[in-house]
Amino acid sequence: MKKKHGAKLPLYAFKKLEKLVSDNGSSDHEERGEPPVAFLDSLLLGEWEDRVQRGLFRYDVTACETKVIPGRYGFIAQLNEGRHLKKRPTEFRVDKVLQPFDESKFNFTKVGQEEVLFQFEASEDGDVQFFPSAPIDVENSPSVVAINVSPIEYGHVLLIPRILDCLPQRIDRESFLLALHMAAEADNPFFRLGYNSLGAFATINHLHFQAYYLAVPFPIEKAPTKKITTLDGDVKISELLNYPVRGLVFEGGNNVEHLSNAVSDACICLQDNNIPYNVLIADSGKRIFLVPQCYAEKQALGEVSAELLDTQVNPAVWEISGHMVLKRKKDYEEASEENAWRLLAVVSLSEERFQEVNALIFEAIASGVDVSQNTTKEQEAEAKPQTDEEVDAIKNASRPTMVSGTQECPV
């Protein structure tokens, strides 16, 4: 989407929420009345279907075979051969979580405007508003929702914060809060947002979240948890139990910013320590799963079995959450909970390393250093790593978590 004066797109202006859930258990949507257009059903999925009719997708994802695998967790298997055949190769190093934006590589300013569904911005007057045709303010870079041309599931879209600012794939407080607002606007437990860092199977170094609609629970959502701590602001942090990948679960909070800031501060800590990670925003933004991972590192070190490598499955946020996107019919036909568990167990940090990473995260959340919500765009630009030397200078954890390797997968 190029900078083009005079261009127009639909605009959905959301009301900034105080809380994701009110004290009586009703959603903020119910309290403020119906928005002028149903965000998920009418706008997002309606516009997505329009792009299907226009033939903008690389294949028909609704024709992909899908099944729930028998077992305790109900892992979901999908056979998606089209995605495998039409993937875009990764154009950056996979051993660095933070890398400078490179305009010569593919990025979302290069997609056609017809792939962009609408602008998604905070309302100026405090009420939800919808404008079918609103000018694009190129001076104040808009956040937009666009189709994923290689979809995993029905309604697969990308949320691209401040698209024209060309931010690299790194979470900050402002962008993560925007993603939580999108989850809240959808107001549907079957619509989730996901995030992959570099080194955790993001393939485009341009800040974006993914989202799609899937009408069954993800296995990670059904996993038991054990409470670790409650932060100031009443944000509860728990640890996943009896799940193949170790991870943290954030929920609660006196207001939406308390929850958002706790998660984004944790993500910033992982980025600054060169630890790849994935995030799943579930339950309309009320539960967030944060999973540090090391699959690419193990792959580069030759610690992944040939059997797993042959599947060519890259465990990004959806796979880690239990939606296994398989590329070979053989793997789809033989899909089992045991096979899914075996793949995801390789993704997980060891118990010892996971506790080391947790200590880093809790220290970062407690201090909240250098992650002010009021950071200006100029300050943010200065904070961005500009060279490999600067990235190397970022402090590492107790040991490096990644080594050079190769990685290819679709968005």
Name the residues annotated as catalytic. Answer: 208
SS in 3 state form for 203-250? CCCCCCEEEEECCCCCHHHHCCEEEEEECCCCEEEEEECCCCCCCEEE
- The span from the CA of 305 to the CA of 307, in Å, is 5
3-state secondary structure (DSSP) of residue 87: coil
- The span from the CA of 84 to the CA of 87, in Å, is 6
The token pair that represents 20 in the structure block: 């994701």
Would you tell me how many other CB atoms lie within 10 Å of the CB of residue 89? 11
- The span from the CA of 179 to the CA of 17, in Å, is 12
- The span from the CA of 175 to the CA of 180, in Å, is 9
Would you tell me how many other CB atoms lie within 10 Å of the CB of residue 171? 25
Single-letter code of the amino acid located at 284 = S
- The span from the CA of 361 to the CA of 250, in Å, is 12
- The span from the CA of 307 to the CA of 251, in Å, is 37
The token pair that represents 80 in the structure block: 């998606």
DSSP H/E element including 132: strand 129-135
- The span from the CA of 18 to the CA of 331, in Å, is 45
Single-letter code of the amino acid located at 63 = A
DSSP summary character for residue 143: P
- Residues facing 408 on adjacent strands: 89
Phi–psi pair at 76, nearest 5 degrees: -105, 130
The token pair that represents 121 in the structure block: 């911005």
Would you tell me how many other CB atoms lie within 10 Å of the CB of residue 388? 12
